[in-house]
Amino acid sequence: AGGRAAIGTMRTSRHWEGPLRLSSKTMCVMLTLLASVLINSVVVASSNFHFTHSVYNATIKENAPPRTNVSSEQKMGIYVSDASLRVEYSITDGEEIFSVHSHQVGDFAFLRVRVKPCQSSDRRCRKLNRESKARYTVAISAEGIQGEVVVARALAVVTVFVLDINDALPVFHSLRHQVTIPEDLPVGSSIAHIQAVDADVGSNGEIYYSLKRDTKTLPFTP
């Protein structure tokens, strides 16, 4: 009876008051599981995180002022299925004349490509000049961010075509021309052919000729 009484009065405590110590093997397993969860979450997010197109075509007029957006018939950007996701865009390769911005409306993060403001003292600062360069290719990276963690990435390329405006002046090959004609040349004969060139294209590049001072001796036919 005494033995049973002794056993019955034993108390066991399940309350742990000391620090929890885990073996290195247990820690390794836990870290592996955590990494797996994070990787899977990134993969899941990335599968739904992509641009509407991998390549976009856009246009902008030459000499466009800073902060002017390029125009595109395509919807440029990324659909956002998770409201907690913030989308940020950046240029990974391309001309420094452009900058990119994100403008989120509802479930869509619009990609805005615009002319980058710069100081006139900056040697890299230059205007869009179609006669110098008519096309730009810009590589864009998108990051899906939750809190401070990047959980998804996507890539796209924007090709920007610079539209011509009538800004170039016609240029003569030579400012002075000299011809020699015989005195018995028939009336109405052509004595010289003078031509100018214009770097603009289409109707902007058409040239109309006129005499600065009219003369009856040498009729001029444009």
Q: What is the DSSP letter of 195?
A: -
* pLDDT at residue 39 in the model: 45
Residues 94 and 188 in one domain: no
Average pLDDT per consecutive 10 residues, the chain (222 residues; last block may be shorter): 43 49 58 50 61 97 94 96 92 89 94 86 74 93 94 96 86 84 84 82 81 73 68
Same domain, 190 and 86: no
Sign of the CA dihedral with 40 first, then 44, 45, and 49 last: positive
The single residue listed with the structure tokens 């391309």 is 94
For residue 205, the enclosing domain spans 166-222
Please state, in angstroms and rounded to a whole number, the distance separating the CA atoms of residues 44 and 184: 90
Query: Do the domain assignments include residue 66?
Result: yes
What residue type is assigned to position 110 of the chain?
Answer: F
Amino acid at 145: I
Tokens matching residue 43: 């993969």
Domain annotation covers residue 125: yes
Number of domains in the chain: 2
Q: What tokens does 131 get? A: 């006669």
Say whether both 73 and 130 belong to one domain. yes
CA distance 68 to 162: 13
How far is Cα 133 from Cα 163, in angstroms, rounded to an integer? Answer: 10
Confidence (pTM): 0.66
pLDDT on residue 50: 94
Query: How far are the Cα atoms of 3, 15, 85 from residue 44, in angstroms, in the given order?
Result: 62, 40, 13
For residue 42, being part of any structural domain is answered with no
- What pLDDT is attached to residue 16? 46
